[in-house]
Amino acid sequence: MFALFRKCFVVFSLFFLAGSLSAQGIEFFKGTWSEALAKAAAEDKLIFVDAYASWCGPCKQMAANVFPQAAVGEYFNANFINVKFDMEKEESAEFRQKHRVRAYPTLFFIDGKNEVVHQLVGGQRVEGLIAAGGVAMGKMDDLDAYAAQWEAGPRDAKLALKYIRALVRSKESHLKVTNDYLREQQDLTSDEHLNILLVAATEADSRIFDLLVEKEDAIIARFGEEAYRNQVERAVLATKAKALEYKDANLMKTAVEKMALVDAAASKQLALAGAFALAAKGSDLKTFYKAAKKYLDKGVLGENARLEEIFQTTSSSGFIHDAKVLDLAIEAGAQAAANDAATGYRQYYRLAEFLLKQGKADQALSYAKQALSTLPPDLGNYERAIQGLIQRIEESR
């Protein structure tokens, strides 16, 4: 089983560690309502429910523009069991036995006992939805009560798990409480202790993460591959983000080394992505070009999200005046457009517009014409926009 997990994990991690994972949004649970309730009770989490209708405009807007956002996915995947139901179809029949709606969308936060903790009506933007999640968790977790119990004792495993989980969910520092508790334990193989490791390993540059990896087989056996994979993912990306925030190459190296404990191939991908991201924050042209070129040649592997990342980062960087960096940006943008049969015309348009701003009218005209030639039928607005761009390019020559 573990060998199979390794194989699956390699494929998954090659995708996310180059930077694409952070672009994913909410992952919705596929089981029944009863199964969602059981999962919520077992994991001590709330269920977030998007109760929608297929004809509802705000519902469609949230599905297209809010739920896929990286910030929303990161917050909701870590803290909730996420479910969505079309309230006019059979899929919601069990849910509708207790929960009714009068307007769409209605967004519920429900505990494992099937009780509503918090709800709101109407479409939400990213910030509003995350804020609503915070309100819901605030109603679920009483940090002051947990802290008082912790100080009074006894500090048993169940209290430790509840307190640490509440600290993590509220984004309060949990490291001292967790480390102090774990240092006093002789045996970390109980369900509560394994769960504490799974919950508290929020950054890869920590002793808690090392313990998580050490107990990998036991955690997978108890909580499943997906739970372990997701926590490793979040921890590694948190350390990567911290390395970028502080422009700390040593911290990025730590993230790469910790990833190697679980997956050597993914660690190499993280090294390429991390070096590129750090170089983009620096001021050395040679270092930036070398990292970008290496990432493009060895780290992209044909993935459009990575190609677009290179194009966006290089084209907006302070190094774009350099001819080699400009050529690299064009190469990445053109590859991304060519790989995308459905919407590649948009990338060609952006590339043409970018080149026009760079004073490269001939190249800009070539890519604008490619945008027009790859445009699907019945997209008159886009056609007029592209024709307008072509006219502007020709007038500039």
Q: Which residues are catalytic?
A: 56, 59
Task: Please report, for residues 5, 17, 65, 252, 273, the alpha-carbon distance to residue 289 in angstroms, rounded to integers and kept in the order given.
Answer: 36, 20, 33, 19, 13
| Omega before residue 58 within 30° of 0, cis | no
> What backbone phi and psi angles, to 5 degrees, belong to 381?
-60, -45
The rounded distance, in Å, linking the Cα atoms of 188 and 203 is 19
Q: What is the dihedral of CA 239, 244, 249, 255, to 10 degrees?
A: 20
Nearest to residue 298, comparing CAs of 275, 327, 326? 275
Nearest to residue 335, comparing CAs of 310, 360, 358, 359? 310
End-to-end CA distance of the chain: 63
Give the chain's length: 397
The rounded distance, in Å, linking the Cα atoms of 81 and 230 is 13
Looking up tokens 């509708």 gives 96
In sequence order, what DSSP letters do the residues of 103-122 get, joined into one string? SS-EEEEE-TTS-EEEEEES
Q: Name residue 395's amino acid.
A: E
Give the largest Cα separation in the chain, rounded: 79
Asked whether the beta carbons of 259 and 270 are under 8 A apart, the reply is yes
Asked whether the beta carbons of 162 and 192 are under 8 A apart, the reply is no
Asked whether the beta carbons of 76 and 82 are under 8 A apart, the reply is yes
Looking up tokens 């009074």 gives 152
> In terms of C-beta distances under 8 Å and separation of at least 24 residues, what long-range contacts does 352-357 make, across chains too?
352/389, 352/393, 353/389, 354/315, 354/329, 355/330, 356/389, 356/392, 356/393, 356/396
Asked whether the beta carbons of 331 and 296 are under 8 A apart, the reply is yes
The rounded distance, in Å, linking the Cα atoms of 60 and 86 is 12
The rounded distance, in Å, linking the Cα atoms of 334 and 355 is 12
